[in-house]
Amino acid sequence: MSTRRRRLQLNVNGAVHTVEVQTRKTLADTLRDDLGLTGTHLGCEHGVCGACTVLVDGRPVRSCLLLAVQVEGARVETVESLGGPTSLHLLQEAFSAHHALQCGFCTPGILMSAVAFLRDHPEPTPQQVREMLAGHLCRCTGYLSIVDAILAAARALSTARQQP
- Give contact residues for ligand FES (rule: CB under 6 A): 42-45, 47-52, 62, 64, 102-107, 138-140
Q: Are 6 and 20 in contact (CB under 8 A)?
A: yes
Chain-centroid distance, C-alpha 120 = 16
Main-chain phi, psi angles of 11, to 5 degrees: -95, 105
- Looking at the Cβ atoms of 43 and 83, the one nearer to ligand FES is 43
- Within 13 Å of residue 163, how many CA atoms lie on the same side as its CB? 6
- Looking at the Cβ atoms of 44 and 144, the one nearer to ligand FES is 44
- Looking at the Cβ atoms of 104 and 122, the one nearer to ligand FES is 104
- Looking at the Cβ atoms of 9 and 96, the one nearer to ligand FES is 96
Minimum Å distance from CB 95 to ligand FES? 10
Residue 111 CB-density burial (10 A; 0-12 exposed, 13-18 middle, 19+ buried): buried
Q: Partners of 12 in the beta sheet?
A: 15, 76
CA-to-CA dists, residue 85 to 82, 89, 93, 138, 156, angstroms = 10, 10, 10, 23, 19
- Looking at the Cβ atoms of 48 and 56, the one nearer to ligand FES is 48
Give the total residue count for the chain.
164
